[in-house]
Amino acid sequence: MVRSLGALGLLPLVLSLPAPQMHYGENSGPVGGVSPPIPTVTAASGSLYGDAKLLGGNAERPPASGGDSANVPNPELVNGQEEPADLGLFLDFNSVDVPQPIRGSKGNTDPGPRTYEYEKLNPDLFAPPDSDQGDVPNSMWPMGLSHVKQGVGERSGWSRQQNQKVLPVADTMAAVDMRLAPHAYRELHWHTAGEWALMLKGSVRVAAINEDGQSFIDDVTAGDVWFFPPGVPHSIQALDEGCEFLLVFDDGEFSEDETFLASEVFMRNPKAVMAKNLQVDVSAFKDIPKKELFIFNGTPAPADIEKQNITSKAGSLSGGPGSYTYHWSKQEPFTTEGGTVKILDPTTFPVASMFSSALVTLQPGAMREIHWHSTSDEWNYFLQGSARITVFAAPSAARTFDYTAGDVGYIEAANCHYVENTGDEDVIFLEVLQAPKFTDISLSQWLALTPKQVIKDTLNLTDEVIDAQPKEKSLIKPGNTNMTSLDFTGKKSS
């Protein structure tokens, strides 16, 4: 590249251009005793170290006033930021250039160093509600910070993962976000963990066999689910439009780099042994891959899936309780005020015996009601929109986290939490449990079904508040789309 530019006489021009600089919004000017920009020099000078004259007691003391200042003149505050901190209103820091970590009478300005974009994405960490207290494990990981592993074929695809190495609290589940180009494959493989998948975009053809020699093949599209138990070998090939899918594994330490690959089976066994096992001549292996294929381009799958439907005497798994796919996209959601919910668990998808999931849509201002799961951790993935979750951990710790599309959430079993839409578009998110049935405990329902005297003696709530609680789970609570309004119900004023 450099030689070709030089031949065109463009090299001096290219070298003279300023280096590319990405701007994420950050403070500038003097900081830490350095005043940028520093002068450019052509020769080194000065010393790396100072001397004893700079020790406290020897050096001249800085002035008590009139020196370097941490004051922030004219700080911009957003709607709701001056309301009492215990209200915990959502703060839209995108409405100002320089957010400040202030809530009501709490906090103060931040003169830096800072990168404003982080704070705009995480307003409840930067200016937390007064209800936050103590130490709660980090419950959020953005897939955008995960390392991307590229496929081996030309623009064949990629994957990125979340496991305990990046989100230590997530000890029961891990995930992989994977992209395949049209007709590309995720190489033939199997895992020690169970693999549950939600199709996000496009369509794929999956194929597998079980221990009894029963085969399976099916096409799934956006919104559909598959599950392969540990040890079951399978293939995944994108159809004509390519695809992206989310894989959830029942092991927090799972790593995509520890997958059992077909190419490695052939590379890690003596050729003489492979020839004996497959009853062919050794020459049959002259073109086997020299390294893992991982994700690679392939030839188009036939439109007629029956051309690839191969069975033994054991037959096929299709259509029975052992089926590895579920066409969740065709399930009509439960619709209620504020959003929709679809549940998929072993009662309808038996092969995924410990995967229970809900796909939830929240309208602006609405929230997934305050709840907890009695026996399982909850793994979340945000497909669209922005939301926040407060995690309450016994006896008195709480922390509020903010999420946008592509973020992973994780809440440990029994920890109380909600999911609140904080944006102006629908939030779509996935809840996954390691449980034989999707269940939760609703705070509202608990209050409604507990003797009223007990509630009044414990919480000093009025009859009006207690009587307003539903005896059936709401799942979703509607709310005012104006997140700084003190009318939290979203009901019109009379």
Active site amino acids: 431
Q: How far apart are CA 384 and CA 41, in angstroms?
A: 49
Residue 275, token pair as written in the block: 């020839």
Cα–Cα distances in angstroms (integers) from residue 164 to residues 20, 326, 488, in the given order: 34, 28, 36
User: Other C-beta atoms within 10 Å of 182: how many?
Assistant: 17
Among 480, 374, 465, smallest CA distance to 420 is for: 480
CB 82 within 8 A of CB 127: no
Among 371, 368, 348, 352, smallest CA distance to 435 is for: 352
Peptide bond into 128 cis (omega under 30): no
Scan for tokens 């191969």, then name that residue.
Answer: 310
CB 159 within 8 A of CB 137: no
Scan for tokens 């540990």, then name that residue.
Answer: 230
Among 202, 190, 194, smallest CA distance to 157 is for: 202
What's the distance, CA 80 to chain centroid? 28
Among 205, 208, 214, smallest CA distance to 311 is for: 214
Contacts made by residues 19-22, CB under 8 angstroms, sequence distance 24+: none
Compute the 3-state secondary structure of the chain and give helix, strand, coil in percent, each to the nearest 5.
15, 30, 55
The phi, psi pair for 287, rounded to 5°, reads -110, 15
Q: How far apart are CA 203 and CA 443, in angstroms?
A: 39
The phi, psi pair for 49, rounded to 5°, reads -125, 155
Q: How far apart are CA 90 and CA 350, in angstroms?
A: 40
Q: How far apart are CA 82 and CA 85, in angstroms?
A: 8
Q: How far apart are CA 339 and CA 366, in angstroms?
A: 7
